[in-house]
Amino acid sequence: MPDIRVSEALWSTGMLPEGILERWLVEDGAWVRTGEAVAAVRIGEALHDIVSSADGRVSIMAPAGDLIDPGCIIAEVAGR
């Protein structure tokens, strides 16, 4: 199953070592398409959309409000 990860590129060297998973933009089990925004994360003062890496049903692995690290997996996408 493809993972939905928080890209390491969202962090700069001067920022906090972790971020916060602000909210999910889709519900667990929802059908998503590649490139669709599925979650919003806050890193420092910036809010970033996290997009699906594939078409399929999203399986949420991290709840809203969780602390996140660069590259962490927050969900998986199951194909048809």
- What whole-number distance in Å separates Cα of residue 41 and Cα of residue 20? 6
CATH classification of the domain holding 18: 2.40.50.100
pLDDT digits (tens, 9 = 90+) for 31-70: 999 999 999 999 888 899 999 999 999 999 999 999 999 8
- What whole-number distance in Å separates Cα of residue 66 and Cα of residue 23? 9
SS3 string, the chain, reads: CCEEECCHHHCCCCCCCCEEEEEECCCCCCEECCCCEEEEEEECCEEEEEECCCCEEEEECCCCCCEECCCCEEEEEECC
- To the nearest whole number, what is the mean pLDDT of the chain? 91
Number of domains in the chain: 1
Q: What is the pLDDT of residue 26?
A: 98
**CA trace torsion 72, 62, 76, 28 (10° rounding):** -160
Q: Are 75 and 60 in contact (CB under 8 A)?
A: yes
pTM listed for this prediction = 0.89
Q: What is the pLDDT of residue 76?
A: 97
Q: What is the pLDDT of residue 18?
A: 79
- Full domain range(s) for residue 9: 3-78
Q: Is the pLDDT of residue 12 over 80?
A: no
